[in-house]
Chains A and B, each alone.
Chain A
Amino acid sequence: MNFLFDFVAQGAQMLLVLALSPLIIGFTRKLKARLLRRKGPPIIQPWRDLIRLLRKEVVLAENASWLYRSAPYLIFAMTWVAASLVPTFATGLMFSWSADLIAIIALLGSARFFLALAGMDIGTSFGGIGSSREAMFGSLAEPATIMIVFTVSFVAGTTQLSEIAAYMAGNLELRASVGMALVALLIVAIAENGRVPVDNPATHLELTMVHEAMVLEYSGRYLALIELASALKLLLYISLIACVFFPVGLARHDAGLQAMAIGLGAYLMKLAIGGFLLALFETSTAKMRVFRVPDFLGAGLMLGLLATLLVFVTRSL
Chain B
Amino acid sequence: MPLYFALTSVSALLAVGVYAIVDRRNPDVSRNVYRICIALCGILFVAAVMPRGASVLSATLPFGLPWIGVHLRIDVLSAFFLAVVNLGGAAASAYAIGYGAHEKEPMRVLPFYPAFLAGMNMVVLADDAFSFLVAWEFMSLTSWALVLTHHHDAENRRAGFVYLLMASFGGFALLMAFGVLGGAGGAYDFASIRESTKEGWKTGLVLALALVGMGSKAGLAPLHIWLPLAHPAAPSHVSALMSGVMTKVAVYGFIRVVFDLLGPPAFWWSIEPMSFGAASALIGVLFATIQSDLKKLLAYSTIENIGVIFIALGLALAFKANGLALPAALAFTAALFHVFNHSLFKSLLFFGAGAVLNGCGERSIERLGGLIHSMPKTAFLFLGGCVAISALPPLNGFVSEWLVFQAILLSPSLPQWTVKLLVPAVGVALALSATLGAGCYIRAYGVAFLGRPRSEAARTAKDPDRWSLGTMAALLTLCLLAGLLPSLVIDTISPAARDFVGGRMPTQAELSWLSIAPVAESRSSYNGLLIFVFILFSAYSARWVIHKFGSSRSRRAPAWDCGYIETSPATQYTGSSFAQPIRRTLGIIAFSVKERLDMPAPGDMRPARLSIDIKDRIFDYLYAPLTRAVETCASGLNILSLLTIQEYLALVFGALVFLLILVAI
Residues of A near any B CB (own CB < 8 A): 51, 54-67, 73-74, 76-78, 80-81, 95, 97-100, 102-103, 106-107, 109-110, 112-113, 116-117, 119-129, 131-133, 135-136, 138-140, 142-143, 146-147, 150, 153-154, 157-160, 163, 206, 216-217, 220-221, 224-225, 290-291, 294, 301, 305, 308-309, 311-312, 315-316
Contacts and interface: CB of A to CB of B under 8 A. Distances in A.
B450 A65 contact: yes
A80 B572 CA distance: 32
A113 B409 contact: no
16 contacts: A59-B555, A67-B379, A81-B535, A113-B390, A113-B441, A117-B445, A120-B450, A123-B370, A124-B561, A127-B573, A129-B573, A139-B438, A143-B431, A143-B432, A160-B522, A220-B554
Given A57-B554, A138-B435, A150-B409, A65 B372 contact: yes
Contacts of B531: 81, 98-99, 103, 107
A57 B525 contact: no
A59 B578 contact: no
Interface string B420-449: 110011011001101110110111011100
Contacts of B524: 100, 102, 158-160
Contacts of B559: 61-63, 122-124, 217
Contact of B527 (A56, A97, A129): A97
Contacts of B439: 135-136, 138-139
A159 B526 CA distance: 10
Given A54-B551, A76-B539, A128-B572, A120 B438 contact: no
Interface string B393-427: 10000100010011011001000010011001101
A154 B525 CA distance: 16
B435 A109 contact: yes
A136 B406 CA distance: 25
A134 to B, nearest CB: 8
10 nearest A-B residue pairs (beta carbon): A128-B573, A123-B451, A120-B446, A54-B550, A135-B439, A143-B431, A77-B538, A123-B452, A58-B554, A77-B539
Contacts of A312: 412, 420-421, 424
B373 A65 contact: yes
Contacts of B406: 159
Contacts of B55: none
Contacts of B438: 109, 112-113, 135, 138-139
A121 B577 CA distance: 16
B556 interface: yes
Contacts, number: 280
Given A77-B538, A160-B523, A125 B556 contact: no
A242 B452 CA distance: 44
Contact of B435 (A59, A63, A142, A294): A142
A67 B383 CA distance: 10
Contacts of B536: 77
A97 B542 contact: no
A19 to B, nearest CB: 14
Contact of A136 (B372, B554, B585): B585
Contacts of A154: 409, 412
B427 A146 contact: yes
Which of A138, A159, A225: most chain B Cβ within 10 A?
Answer: A159
A126 B561 CA distance: 7
Given A60-B557, A74-B535, A113-B390, A120 B447 contact: yes
Given A125-B572, A131-B446, A225-B546, 16 more contacts: A57-B551, A59-B560, A76-B538, A77-B535, A98-B515, A102-B524, A106-B398, A109-B438, A120-B446, A120-B451, A138-B435, A138-B439, A146-B405, A158-B524, A217-B559, A316-B412
A216 B537 CA distance: 27
Which of B442, B451, B524: most chain A Cβ within 10 A?
Answer: B442
Which of B439, B536, B556: most chain A Cβ within 10 A?
Answer: B439
Nearest to B417: A316
A60 B555 CA distance: 6
Given A63-B452, A157-B523, A54 B546 contact: yes
A74 B539 contact: yes
A98 B539 contact: no
Contacts of A80: 538
Which of A66, A125, A157: most chain B Cβ within 10 A?
Answer: A125
A132 B409 contact: no
Contacts of A135: 438-439, 442-443, 578, 581-582
B451 A59 contact: no
B562 interface: yes
Contact of A221 (B391, B421, B452, B550): B550
Interface in B159-177: none
A241 B445 CA distance: 34
